[in-house]
Chain A
Amino acid sequence: MSGESWRASVRARLGDFELDLELDGDARPLALIGQNGSGKTSLLRALAGAIEIEEAEIVVAGEVLASSSAGVSLPIEARRVGYVPQGYGLFAHLSVIDNVGFGLSTSLRRVARAERRRRAAAALDALDCADLAEREIAGLSGGEQQRVALARALVIDPALLLLDEPLAALDATTRQTVRRALAAHLRAFRRPALIVTHDVRDVVALDARVCVLERGRVIQRGELDDLRASPASAFVAEFVGQG
């Protein structure tokens, strides 16, 4: 398995809902699409280690995050995943720079305060928002929140990036700019990234492969063109037709 490749097979039961799928990929982003309730967010949480799993084999860049056969399941904090949830999950009681530096302040990865602030500032700078450093979360626009959340996830140098509808909360014009910025950063990131989206323009901009979920299972995967050529469901046809 090469440095950036990953594979995951996951089986989990959440109430009446069952997640049962196998996926793999490399450093190229993978777009997860599917109707609400198809299991996209649950899949991200399962990969992050945030939900109870019945059976899983998850290997990222050669490291086993979970393996039921080997009796391994790393806790969330040991998985080195950058998780950006739908509402961004920013810590409202901390300033922007302390949000971004949080990952360098935990017992697992404690860095001296000056160095932490330097690295957090660098992460903000890389996302063109160094000027937000001392701001409070409550005063940020949607686009700013999105960048801060991404900077915070990247500061721990994650092996896998999980983004849950990163652009959904933005207005149309902001979305365009942030989409372009996100695409540039994912290209530079060069590590596996899974992005939940409802917008075919995200798939195009991120040059992502696509995986379609339905009721917790993968019903189709491939390039956007493959999906266009033979959509596996009415939902897929609608999705690829919208651009």
Chain B
Amino acid sequence: MKPRPRRSPLSALSSVAGLLALSLVGLLALPLIALIWSSSTADLRAGLGDPMFAPALALSLRTSVVSLALTVALGTPLAWWLASSRARVARAVEILVELPIVIPPAVVGIALLATFGRQGLLGPLGLSLPFTTQAVIVAQLVVSSPLYVQAAANAFRKLDPDTLIVARSLGASPVEAVVRVALPIAGPGLIVGASLAWARALGEFGATLLFAGNLRGETQTMPLAIFAALESDVELALVFALVLAAVGALLLVGLRLALRAQRSRG
């Protein structure tokens, strides 16, 4: 019979690591549990019937879908250029694109006011966006599109340039090579980037509050409705928060399914 191996220092280390990991999982899960716990069915019914709810949810979905469409339409060519260009200016642009990720949203909001406000940089052109639905979309676009561009550029960088040369040699025009070969191969990366961007746009709060304000039906998205509800009715804020969390969870599940579908196709 072999002697039982003594617990190695490595296994002690792995228990400590497991404990650390578990405490983070707990910290991430607890608020969600609390959120579900603290709303009764009656609260939920009352919250969903509140006059603030439907316009805020509709506005959130509408603006975030528009900003996502703009992000993909404008961000894909930009990501392609960032991934394929070796020029120094491309690296500079890359840093510029990443800046909104590290700049606090409140700063972005103020900066947008300074740009598109009546007294702003583009004011003399007669352009005044603040406190409109367009302002909500612009704020979402600025804070969320960098996440997509970054993910898409990384996906494009992983493409083997030879696959594109081969596609061309087989008769594909440059556009065909991109649409039929590059985009499908980079697909999973693009989907991840797009859902990150959408989630970020859906949750956008700081820049929207400063730049677009909190006008019901016009600029009051779900996060702003939570903020407004909190001032008078905590229960209501909790219900709104629960709905927003559910939308986020649905987004995550949808993303997983889309990725799995993509993978099983090849």
Measured CB to CB, the residues of A under 8 A from B are: 45, 48, 50, 75-77, 79, 81-87, 89-95, 102-103, 106-109, 136-138, 152-153, 156
Q: Indicate which residue in A76, A94, A95 contacts B169 across the interface (CB closer than 8 Å).
A: A76
Closest beta carbon of chain A to B117's beta carbon, Å? 46
Most buried by B among A50, A81, A136: A50
Interface flag for B248 (CB, 8 Å) = no
Q: Indicate which residue in A75, A93, A153 contacts B187 across the interface (CB closer than 8 Å).
A: A93
- Is the beta-carbon distance between A152 and B162 smaller than 8 angstroms? no
- Is the beta-carbon distance between A85 and B165 smaller than 8 angstroms? yes
Q: Indicate which residue in B165, B171, B185, B187 contacts A103 across the interface (CB closer than 8 Å).
A: B171
- Is the beta-carbon distance between B165 and A83 smaller than 8 angstroms? yes
Closest beta carbon of chain B to A142's beta carbon, Å? 16
- Is the beta-carbon distance between A82 and B184 smaller than 8 angstroms? no
Interface flag for B176 (CB, 8 Å) = yes
A-B contact pairs, 10 of them (CB 8 A): A48-B169, A85-B165, A91-B163, A91-B167, A92-B185, A92-B266, A95-B266, A102-B167, A106-B173, A137-B266
The residues of A that contact B170 with a CB separation of less than 8 Å are 77, 102-103, 106, 152-153, 156
The B interface is mostly helix, strand or loop, or mixed, namely: helix
Interface flag for B35 (CB, 8 Å) = no
Closest beta carbon of chain B to A223's beta carbon, Å? 30
Bound-state CA distance A86–B172 (Å) is: 20
- Is the beta-carbon distance between B266 and A156 smaller than 8 angstroms? no
Known contacts A87-B160, A93-B187: does B265 contact A77 (CB below 8 Å)?
A: no
Interface string of B171-187 (1 = CB under 8 A from A): 11100100001001101
CB-nearest residue of chain B to A95: B266
Most buried by A among B166, B176, B265: B166
Bound-state CA distance A103–B167 (Å) is: 8
Q: What 7 additional pairs, Cβ within 8 angstroms, besides A106-B173, A106-B176, A107-B176?
A: A48-B165, A77-B168, A83-B166, A89-B165, A90-B163, A91-B167, A108-B173
Bound-state CA distance A44–B166 (Å) is: 12
Which 5 A-B pairs have CB atoms at the shortest separation, nearest pair first? A103-B170, A85-B162, A106-B171, A76-B168, A108-B171
Within 8 A of A (CB), among B151-207: 160, 162-163, 165-173, 176, 181, 184-185, 187
Bound-state CA distance A241–B185 (Å) is: 43
CB-nearest residue of chain B to A48: B169
- Is the beta-carbon distance between A94 and B171 smaller than 8 angstroms? no
The residues of A that contact B167 with a CB separation of less than 8 Å are 91, 102
Bound-state CA distance A153–B165 (Å) is: 12
Known contacts A77-B168, A109-B171, A152-B170: does B163 contact A93 (CB below 8 Å)?
A: no
Bound-state CA distance A116–B248 (Å) is: 44
Bound-state CA distance A87–B164 (Å) is: 13
- Is the beta-carbon distance between B169 and A82 smaller than 8 angstroms? yes
Bound-state CA distance A76–B185 (Å) is: 21
The residues of A that contact B266 with a CB separation of less than 8 Å are 92-95, 136-138
Closest beta carbon of chain A to B264's beta carbon, Å? 10
CB-nearest residue of chain A to B170: A103
Bound-state CA distance A6–B135 (Å) is: 62
- Is the beta-carbon distance between A89 and B168 smaller than 8 angstroms? no
Bound-state CA distance A106–B166 (Å) is: 12
Closest beta carbon of chain B to A158's beta carbon, Å? 8
Closest beta carbon of chain A to B177's beta carbon, Å? 9
Closest beta carbon of chain B to A17's beta carbon, Å? 14
The residues of A that contact B181 with a CB separation of less than 8 Å are 91
Bound-state CA distance A13–B7 (Å) is: 62
- Is the beta-carbon distance between B265 and A85 smaller than 8 angstroms? no
Closest beta carbon of chain B to A137's beta carbon, Å? 7
Closest beta carbon of chain A to B49's beta carbon, Å? 47
CB-nearest residue of chain B to A44: B165
Within 8 A of A (CB), among B210-266: 265-266
CB-nearest residue of chain B to A103: B170
Closest beta carbon of chain A to B186's beta carbon, Å? 10
Bound-state CA distance A45–B162 (Å) is: 10
The residues of B that contact A93 with a CB separation of less than 8 Å are 184-185, 187, 265-266
Known contacts A77-B168, A94-B266, A95-B266: does B162 contact A89 (CB below 8 Å)?
A: yes
Closest beta carbon of chain A to B252's beta carbon, Å? 24
- Is the beta-carbon distance between B265 and A89 smaller than 8 angstroms? no
Bound-state CA distance A156–B176 (Å) is: 17
Closest beta carbon of chain B to A30's beta carbon, Å? 18
The residues of A that contact B185 with a CB separation of less than 8 Å are 91-93
Closest beta carbon of chain A to B6's beta carbon, Å? 42
- Is the beta-carbon distance between B171 and A81 smaller than 8 angstroms? no
- Is the beta-carbon distance between B169 and A77 smaller than 8 angstroms? yes
